[in-house]
Structure 1
Amino acid sequence: MTDLTIRNLTATPLELKLVERFDGQPVKNGGDNRMGNITSRITGIFNSSSVAPNVTPQGDARDRRDVSIPLPCFGNTTTDVKAADPNGREVVRLTFESEGHRYEVDVPTSSRRSTVLKKLDDGPREFTAVYVASGSCLSIFSSANLGSWMQELRDDWPLSALSIPGTHNSPTCHVALPSVRCQAANVREQLDNGVRFFDVRVQTSPDNSDLILVHSAFPISLTGNKYFHDMLNDVYAFLDANRSETLIMSLKREGTGKGTDQQLSKYLRDRYCGDGNRWFTEPRIPRLGEARGKVVLLRRYGNDESLNGEHGGRGFGLDTSEWPDNCDDKVTGGPGLARVQDFYEMDQSHNIGKKIDLARAHLERAGEPTCPFGDPAAPDHLPFFVNFLSASNFFNANCWPEKIAAKVNPAIVEYLCLNHGEAGRGPNNLGVGDACTGIVVTDWVGLGGDWDLIRCIVGWNARLQLKQ
């Protein structure tokens, strides 16, 4: 058995105080993973990863040892504690202390998902742990309230300095063709569970400002058109109830409609995005305080010339209209706006490995810079690092969105727990700055209530809190 490594990925020092060992009993997976009669059945995203097996402790502890192992903030500590037997015959119970209070967790747990540490007294903190069996590593995150996680962060941080979870083709949770549907949860569920970047595609008509939600040439629902204005009502309701939060929305024109980018831009300005109390439409990356309670417009379409005079002649919306296609790392949007990984063409299922490698490399790039906050000589912001975990092949059922997510999502959870933010552990051996993840754009999160990938992304914002 190997030694257990513990990563304290919180802004709170911890100390391991007690180690107990129990006989373990493997348990079968549970849960209902039905996705409707159109999409295929899979058994949960963690089944393709080495995140901890399901094991429950039996009887009394057969070994108990008091220890004193300090776990500094964002430290990676290899202990002399042997990891649990990998065959599921053992459970190690760990007791931690923080600010005089104690917390407990079993490793591995009775679930493949993350586990909230049990409070042994009235401690004020909440911690969440993910155990990656392949690395014998327990990663501990601060348990953010996913519905309002931005309230913990300072107003003057630029949005590009944050670790932001997003979704690809965000409203595509309806019954649809399996190559079209990309999400398990609806828009409000995504927002309530921490998603703060939406990728939205709309179909435009030359004579009607009603915008139909689409994915490529297809409507997102087989039971009738879904409309942009209805989706916005859900977004506004969330932001009204959570004024500390913001949402970055990428908008692109797709579908079979005959409308143009220029017509779309005028519809958005005149009907949807013109309210400055609801939208941030200046062509610059805002600071969090400016964007709270609003939707930040990131446009993947060209503006009509009539909008060039907006905001003192600077234009309307963050301009990424020259979006790089099928890329591994490309810059878009003028100087310093965005660096994009959006490799999406899957020829064969083995290309999923390439996708995972590209996503890991972009996470490492995003973690390298240090936010220039407080340095008057530095630029106002970092670029957005936009990292799409999504890919698809319409003609290959093994490469439909949910099949790719079943492999990519757990691989990224493991990377965030084992390697991200650790010098020398990234694929290109880059340095580590603030360890931001950038904007990580996902498919099929929330399946069966599983939001662990989102929780791991949000958790990395605790690194910024050390600078506050």
Structure 2
Amino acid sequence: MSKVTVRNLTHLPLILKRAERYDSKVVRTGSVFTNTIGTITSFINATNFTTSETHADGEARSFKDVHVEIGSFSAKVTEFSPPEQGKDVLRFYFECEGKRYQVDVPTATDTSTVMERLSEGDKRELTAVYIARHDFLAIMSSSNLHAWMKEVRDEYPLSLLSIPGTHNSPACYTALPSVRCQAVGVSEQLENGVRFLDIRVSATPDNDNLALVHSAFPVSLTGTKWFGDLLSEVYAFLDRNPSETIVMSLKREGTGKASDQDMSRYLRDRFIRGNDGADAKRWWTRGHIPTLGEVRGKIVLLRRFNVADSVRKSENGGKGFGIDAAHWPDNCDDGKCGGGLVRVQDFYEIDQSTNIERKIGYSHAQLERAAEQLFRNTPDADAGDKKNNNKVKPPPFFVNFLSASNFFNATCWPERIAAKVNPAVIEYLCMRHGEDGKGPKKLKVGDACTGIVVTDWVGAHGDWDLIRCIVGWNARLQAKK
């Protein structure tokens, strides 16, 4: 008979101290009206919506005190059988640095839960994700998602972080179902941990107003949405949270007749040099991967368009304008651009729903490649470093798009792809990521970052589990010597 496995994804050791087993009860939540609307919306968008919660009922019918040490980033199979669905609840008690915590499995809903703190004055938060079909409990450090970068040291290159992102980030408005990619707006995404924004704009000759689009379509059917307004949201967020940085991938799409070169001038003259030059301080437009300390409070430009010669020569001493990703590899499982600064998984042409498994496999493989990277912040690590003026080369950005779509197949519209891909990636991050040989390519693990993971349809009905799982892997940097 299977037993519950516990994986500790924090940088501190955990001790399982006690287990109790209860009868379960189902508690209805919400009103008839909100449940009806939520269920309809969930059906249309293929997002998860629950109208009930599972709780422990009455007194524990059995218990056992134990002492099971679970080291940082390690897993242990416990002696406890998993709870039987609909019949009982298993309550675990853990200790971390002398503080006590408890969590029930299954959790009250299908989403993650913050473990209950039992020690007075304890401010640490731990998050638990229970994967019922594998009898697997993952425990990770909770983060203040609005300012999670505050816990990461300045000297780390940005490419070493585990960064959640969104695909076609502002495509959250009323739109064609094949066009809409997000459940909530950019401000809410940022407040909940997203730090990579994928922005597509349409440019018109002799008009520096850039309209937000997804391919040839506007992101909203109720009126044009503008890049300048989006920037105001981003600036306001960074003003509130100066410890954070945002990587912005910017690309020209849509039906506008202006060129990439035109757009590069619009971006420089209005949006970067504008506001009497004050906004220039908000941007990182150099052509190399920065450290986090260099770009706190700034937008890092990942440029998916060509630039006018006048723009290139005028910026950064003539050394370019942004991290150059203009030659983006199309529909690839592992492509390179930017002179090797960017590696991309962006397989998006899904022609049938069964092909989604191929997409999931590519996503897992890119996570594994990102995890393999190892960064040593030691100038004299070897002779090669000395030849490079004592500068250690950072790993590239591993950009991993979980998104895909097929305009002509409703089962392959963005939200329906996300309904299958996102849970599969959560499961991988909880169970296999950061383990030698557990990925598709059986690679060794280095610093175990996830890279930039670009998602669709996160935040629907308050479900931020995927974002929490990505951010949680930054705890590996806290354990790094």
The 2-side partners of 1:319 and 1:45 are apart by 38
Aligned counterparts, 1:37-52, within 5 A? 41-42=44-45, 44-45=47-48
More deviation in 171-180 or 304-313? 304-313
One-letter amino acid of the counterpart of residue 393, structure 2: D
| Aligned partner (choices 329, 334, 341) of residue 329 of structure 1 | 334
Q: What is the deviation of 1:77?
A: 1.3
Q: Which residue of 2 aligns with 1:115?
A: 113
Q: Which residue of 2 aligns with 1:88?
A: 86
Q: What is the deviation of 1:99?
A: 1.5
CA change 1:220–1:32 in 2 (3 A) is farther
Q: Which residue of 2 aligns with 1:237?
A: 236
One-letter amino acid of the counterpart of residue 327, structure 2: E
The 1-side partners of 2:212 and 2:419 are apart by 25
Q: Deviations over 1:197-256 (max 9, x none)?
A: 000000001110000000000011001100000000000000000000000000000000
Q: What is the deviation of 1:109?
A: 1.5
| Aligned partner (choices 276, 280, 285) of residue 284 of structure 2 | 280
CA change 1:15–1:46 in 2 (3 A) is farther
The answer on 1:361 being equivalent to 2:365 is: yes
One-letter amino acid of the counterpart of residue 299, structure 2: V
One-letter amino acid of the counterpart of residue 327, structure 1: C
Q: Which residue of 2 aligns with 1:191?
A: 190
| Aligned partner (choices 309, 317, 320) of residue 315 of structure 1 | 320
The answer on 1:458 being equivalent to 2:471 is: yes
One-letter amino acid of the counterpart of residue 331, structure 1: K
The 1-side partners of 2:417 and 2:26 are apart by 28
The answer on 1:2 being equivalent to 2:2 is: yes
CA change 1:43–1:24 in 2 (3 A) is farther
Q: Which residue of 2 aligns with 1:158?
A: 157
Say whether the 8 Å CA contact 1:146–1:193 is kept in structure 2.
yes
Q: Say which SS state the counterpart of residue 261 (structure 2) adopts.
A: helix
Say whether the 8 Å CA contact 1:194–1:458 is kept in structure 2.
yes
Say whether the 8 Å CA contact 1:445–1:451 is kept in structure 2.
yes
Q: Which residue of 2 aligns with 1:213?
A: 212
The 2-side partners of 1:391 and 1:38 are apart by 21
The 2-side partners of 1:133 and 1:269 are apart by 51
CA change 1:84–1:139 in 2 (3 A) is same
Q: Which residue of 2 aligns with 1:50?
A: none
Q: Percent identity?
A: 58
Q: Deviations over 1:169-199 (max 9, x none)?
A: 0001110111110001101000000000000
**TM-score with structure 1 setting the length:** 0.95
5+ long unaligned stretches in structure 2? 274-278, 386-390
Q: What is the deviation of 1:39?
A: 9.6
| Aligned partner (choices 411, 419, 430) of residue 432 of structure 2 | 419
| Aligned partner (choices 438, 441, 449) of residue 451 of structure 2 | 438
RMSD: 2.0
The 1-side partners of 2:440 and 2:29 are apart by 32
Say whether the 8 Å CA contact 1:362–1:387 is kept in structure 2.
yes
The 1-side partners of 2:421 and 2:63 are apart by 38
The 2-side partners of 1:405 and 1:300 are apart by 24
Q: What is the deviation of 1:34?
A: 5.4
One-letter amino acid of the counterpart of residue 14, structure 1: L
Q: Deviations over 1:296-330 (max 9, x none)?
A: 00010001111222212210110000000000001
Q: What is the deviation of 1:279?
A: 0.3
Q: Which has the higher helix share?
A: 2
5+ long unaligned stretches in structure 1? 48-52
